[in-house]
């Protein structure tokens, strides 16, 4: 079930207490005030799988599946544009690579990837993985991220992600997760600051962040 079916029905959800963000000093510019939710943005290109591996259909469907099974999940915050947050969102290709790692099979369709992941990890684990990609309480644009080498971000899942700026000049940023055995994701150039100007902002990443050794 796609995210957009929940946009009009969901209210703000309290996130894990004590969540903090350690970042470089904030710029003097006023914080964004727009209230368009990330859920609305992700669902704006339709709610069906396609052959465009660079977009976010699998993420859209994964969030929808979690909310269908657990309507009170904190994942619902993605549909409340009044709540500031930053999301690092894996592309469909990133999920395809995760499915390969977990099942040792290469799925050629987005629907196949989604079904394989749902069967492999279950809704509860899928929920935790999704929350691990959400940093509540802060709208972190790409400029701030580039100025925040070694920053530690506390996620809605309760774990942490470290920002590793490998090249500020070329905009190369890696996110260090809790799985030490796999490649850490990078921000995707050209797919940053999604939903800019609003309280909820997102940046595409090349791999799925892992809150534990998967």
- The dihedral of CA 105, 106, 110, 112: what is its sign? negative
How many domains does the chain contain in total?
1
DSSP code of 84? -
Cα–Cα distance measured from residue 76 to residue 66, given in angstroms and rounded to the nearest whole number: 9
Is 171 within a domain?
yes
In a domain, 210, yes or no: no
Indicate whether 212 belongs to any domain. no
Whether 149 and 22 have beta carbons less than 8 Å apart is answered as no
* 15 domain residue, yes or no: yes
Residue 213 within any structural domain of the chain: no
Whether 178 is in a domain gets the answer: yes
Dist. CA 174–CA 85, nearest whole Å:
19
pLDDT digits (tens, 9 = 90+) for 86-121: 999 999 999 999 999 999 999 999 999 999 999 999
- Residue from 178, 212, 2, 173 nearest 88 by CA: 173
- Per-residue model confidence as pLDDT tens digits over 163-195: 999 999 999 999 999 998 889 999 999 999 999
Which has the higher per-residue pLDDT, 136 or 4? 136
Domain that residue 42 falls in: 3-25+33-205
91 inside domain: yes
pTM of the model: 0.86
The confidence score (pLDDT) of residue 24 equals 45
Residue 214 belongs to a domain: no
What CATH number is given to the structural domain containing 110?
A: 2.30.180.10
């Amino acid at each position: 079930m796609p995210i957009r079916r929940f946009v009009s029905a969901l209210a703000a959800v309290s996130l894990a207490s004590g969540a903090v963000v350690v970042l470089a000093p904030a710029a003097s510019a006023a914080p964004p005030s727009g209230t368009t939710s990330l859920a609305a943005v992700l669902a704006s290109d339709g709610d069906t799988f396609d052959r465009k591996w660079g977009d976010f259909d699998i993420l859209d469907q994964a969030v929808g599946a979690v909310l269908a099974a657990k309507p009170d999940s904190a994942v619902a915050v993605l549909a409340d544009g009044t709540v500031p947050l930053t999301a690092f969102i894996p592309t469909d290709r990133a999920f395809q690579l995760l499915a390969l790692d977990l099942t040792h099979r290469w799925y050629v369709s987005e629907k196949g990837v989604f079904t394989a992941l749902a069967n492999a990890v279950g809704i509860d684990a899928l929920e935790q993985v999704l929350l691990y990609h959400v940093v509540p309480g802060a709208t972190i644009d790409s400029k701030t991220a580039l100025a925040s080498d070694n920053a530690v971000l506390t996620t809605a899942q309760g774990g942490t992600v470290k920002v590793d700026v490998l090249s500020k000049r070329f905009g190369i940023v890696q996110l260090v997760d809790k799985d030490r055995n796999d490649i850490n994701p990078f921000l995707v150039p050209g797919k940053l600051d999604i939903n800019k100007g609003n309280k909820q902002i997102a940046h595409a990443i090349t791999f799925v962040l892992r809150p534990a050794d998967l």
